[in-house]
Amino acid sequence: MVAVASRKMNCFSQRFRQTAPMLGSSKNELVPSKPPRRNGWSWPPQAFQVVGWLVYSYLTIVSFGIYIPLLPLPWKHVAYTLMGVAFIVHLFAHIAVLTVDPADDSVRAKQSYSTPMPLFDRTKQPHVIHDLHCYLCDVNVGPKVKHCGVCNKCVEDFDHHCKWLNTCVGGRNYRYFFLALCSATIGVFLLIVVVLFVFIQHYLNPYSLRTAPQFADVSGNSTWLMFLPLAPIKTSSAGLLILSFVTVMLSTTCLLLLSHLLGFHLYLYHKGISTYDYVKLQRQKEAKKRDVEAGNGTRNAKTHKAPQNQEASVDCEPSLSQRSSSCKFHDKNPFTSRLSESICTELENFKKSENKFRYGTENPSENIARGIALRDIKNWKPDNDEESQSATVKSVCSVPGVQDPLGSSIMTPDDI
């Protein structure tokens, strides 16, 4: 019990901080406090940084220790010169970008890089940098300064945080970063050309690769020498070809990554923006696209939604040349539905009676009575309210008619 209580007390005794608020979260996500990083040499190194050093060391060894010494003259001297310049420039540029502190001037003037950063309280400030003041570094900064959450400091003209260099790339070390990127791309490209030349000549003309004096003591073409001329080590043709294949694959992968990154930064230079600005613009475009899609979805939902109050719609299609007729109802209102049904029913009855009257199928007394009723209906004129109701019926029926006050019959224009 004492040990458990002691561990809990140790957990609560730690200081916490948050470098930036999380979007869409109302809680303070606190992490253990730590001092800011000075540059790329700060401990501990990143995994990508170690991988980069190992790849650079391997390519340097196989270039100047195995493949360039096998080249015939004068290509050997040309390769030594060009690749030597590329690898040396990359080495010094790489060291420079790691050594230079990219922090803002006010941070470098105040920061000792030995004390932990203070706690960031989101309830008091919405962002780490607000109104050109960093509440973690406690300094006033410029408009292009960003507080890096990994390095835990404000970086001047922030571009991005590079995991391969284990430091931020900003205004103070961007030129060294770009120079290291260009030199690495050129060096890897030249190495691929040299290895492919050795690989092809091994099958076409192996004697052109055995011009070094040390090959005079080697019998047979199946034995090759590495690390000429200082420390010759014998190897077989299979070993040389397998090593060439591995080197070409690794160099091609590096060339694709480096050329893509170089092309991207050339594009940013052409646009006059930084990597951070590009990321912000892409996020804004994605947010705008989501808003547009959400707006279209809302409009489509409203369009497909059935209206609650729909006007009366009656489609009456009586056939004047036939004995049968049909009425179509499209309204669910009880009153208008009953009214329309009554109208169409009377219209059907009248058409039947009309046909009987015309063809003489009724007796004379019924014909006389029906003719008097038709004359009375012709002479009747509706008032204002009944005129509005009649107008409504006319607007929804395909065959207009006149309704009497009792709604007992309908006269078509042909009968009036």
Domain assignments of the chain as residue spans, ordered by start: 35-102+158-211+225-292, 106-156
- Residue 387's pLDDT is 46
pLDDT band, very low/low/confident/very high, at 395 (cuts 50, 70, 90): very low
pLDDT at res. 26: 40
Q: What is the pLDDT of residue 357?
A: 43
pLDDT for 128: 82
Nearest residue to 61 via CA among 81, 82, 83:
83
Q: pLDDT tier at 414 (50, 70, 90 boundaries)? A: very low
Say what the pLDDT of residue 122 is. 67
CA 26 vs CA 22, 29, 129, 159: distances in Å: 8, 9, 18, 28
Tell me what pLDDT residue 115 has: 66
Most confident of 226-230, 279-283, 343-347: 279-283
d(CA 9, CA 326): 88
Which of 23-37, 50-64, 82-96, 277-291 bottoms out in mean pLDDT, i.e. has the lowest?
23-37
Contact present, 333 and 312 (Cβ < 8 Å): yes
Out of 148, 154, 162, 344, the active site residue is 162
Q: Where does 13-162 have alpha helices with state H? A: 47-62, 75-99, 105-110
Torsions phi, psi of 42, nearest 5?
-65, 140
- Neighbouring CB atoms inside 10 A of 254's CB total 21
Look at residue 403 and tell me whether its pLDDT is greater than 50: no
Angle (CA) 6-12-15 rounded to 5° is 135
The pLDDT, as a whole number, for residue 328 is: 47
Considering only 20-34, 283-297, 301-315, which range has the smallest mean pLDDT?
Answer: 20-34
Cβ within 8 Å of residue 114, ≥6 positions away: 35
Question: What pLDDT is stored for residue 96 in this prediction?
Answer: 95
| CB burial string 172-187: b at 16+ within 10 A, e below | bbbebbbbbbbbbbbb
- The answer to whether the pTM exceeds 0.85 is no
The average pLDDT across 108-123 equals 69
More confident residue, 138 or 312: 138
- pLDDT value of position 304: 61
Above 90 in pLDDT, residue 183?
yes
Q: Give the span between the Cα atoms of 57 and 330, in whole angstroms.
A: 82
Residue type, 60: T
* pLDDT at res. 77: 93
Contact 402, 416 (CB under 8 A): yes
Question: What does the chain come to in residues?
Answer: 416
Residue 130 is encoded by which pair of tokens?
Answer: 């607000």
Residue 170 has pLDDT above 50, yes or no: yes
| Res. 195: pLDDT tops 60 | yes
Confidence tier at 47 by pLDDT (50, 70, 90): very high
pLDDT exceeds 80 at position 406: no
Which pLDDT band holds residue 56 (cuts at 50, 70, 90)? very high
Query: Which residue would you say has higher pLDDT here, 383 or 160?
Result: 160
Give the range among 66-80, 102-116, 171-185 with minimum mean pLDDT: 102-116
Cα–Cα distance, 243 to 373 (Å, whole number): 113
**Higher per-residue pLDDT: 255 or 333:** 255
- Percent of the chain at pLDDT exceeding 70: 60
Predicted pLDDT of residue 371: 52
* Proportion of the chain above pLDDT 90, given as a percent: 36
Q: Is the pLDDT confidence value at 111 over 70?
A: no
* Separation of alpha carbons 241 and 219, rounded Å: 19
Which range of 97-101, 139-143, 207-211, 349-353 scores highest in mean pLDDT? It is 97-101
pLDDT surpassing 50 at residue 413: no
pLDDT, the chain, mean: 74
Q: 134 and 19 in contact (C-beta within 8 Å)?
A: no
**What is the DSSP code (8-state) at residue 63?**
I
Is 162 known to be catalytic?
A: yes
